[in-house]
């Protein structure tokens, strides 16, 4: 027979966002990078006096090269991180196999450091150490701050980065694709995309949507402004 519930105690289900899957950081970074890169590129090339055809050619080349580069970079980065974690896990596994007494004392000390009574900490450590895999996970989590089972996927990070970079990079080119080859309209589209991307990213942070949106718009505007001035200077000096 189950014991009665405590007065006022109710089951409360809640969930957390996935912060370890690898896709969120790659997606946000990819979208922001694609928007800033191509908005600034369109500003620089357009500021230098290039025609619509040259702007589109440069923008599409930047989109493809940037998306591929981002995907490969994310894959390599996450893969290397996982391989380093594997190395540390194996190192901890060897310690548990060759020095179980020392690892037991270490786990006991970890529990005590978290406020568990010394005698109880010893009992809990002994019980947890009865399962080598559970003990391994606890040691890795306590010492590295990473659960070895919750590692990001290199493929997910690469695909997320590729798709979001391409999506962000295409926005400042949309007016040219739609038959409106006007530089300020392209920059306006890029700015709107930056504002929207920043606002959407606030859903995963404690920041307000307007703060995150305006912050990203400011960063993108600064990059586009500097690139436009440089493009204008180079274009004038060449002519």
Q: What is the pLDDT of residues 50-99, one digit of tens each?
A: 999 999 999 999 999 999 999 999 999 999 989 998 998 898 889 888 88
Q: What is the pLDDT of residues 149-206, one digit of tens each?
A: 778 889 999 999 999 999 999 999 999 999 999 999 999 999 999 999 988 888 877 8
State if pTM tops 0.85. no
Q: Quick check: 221 and 214 in contact, CB under 8 A?
A: no
DSSP 157: H
Q: Quick check: 215 and 233 in contact, CB under 8 A?
A: no
Domain ranges of the chain: 23-238
Quickly count: other Cβ atoms within 10 Å of residue 77's Cβ: 17
- Residue 224 CA to residue 72 CA, distance in Å, equals 26
């Amino acid at each position: 027979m189950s014991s009665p519930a405590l007065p006022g105690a109710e089951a409360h289900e809640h969930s957390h966002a996935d912060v370890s899957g690898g896709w969120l950081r790659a997606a946000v970074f990819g979208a922001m990078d694609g928007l800033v890169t191509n908005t600034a590129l369109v500003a620089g090339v357009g500021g230098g006096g290039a025609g619509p055809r040259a702007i589109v050619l440069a923008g599409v080349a930047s989109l493809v090269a940037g998306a591929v580069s981002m995907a490969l970079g994310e894959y390599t980065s996450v893969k290397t991180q996982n391989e380093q974690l594997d190395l540390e896990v194996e190192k901890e596994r060897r310690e548990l196999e060759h020095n179980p007494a020392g690892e037991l004392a270490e786990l006991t000390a970890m529990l005590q450091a978290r406020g568990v009574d010394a005698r109880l900490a010893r009992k809990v450590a002994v019980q947890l150490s009865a399962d080598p895999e559970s003990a391994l996970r606890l040691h890795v989590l306590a010492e590295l701050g990473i659960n070895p089972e919750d590692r990001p996927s290199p493929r997910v990070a690469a695909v997320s980065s590729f798709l979001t970079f391409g999506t962000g990079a295409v926005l400042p080119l949309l007016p040219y694709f739609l038959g409106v080859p006007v530089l300020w309209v392209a920059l306006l589209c890029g700015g709107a995309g930056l504002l929207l991307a920043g606002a959407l990213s606030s859903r995963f942070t404690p920041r307000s949507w307007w703060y995150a949106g305006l912050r990203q718009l400011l960063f993108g505007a600064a990059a586009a402004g500097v690139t436009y001035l440089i493009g204008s200077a180079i274009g004038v000096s060449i002519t």
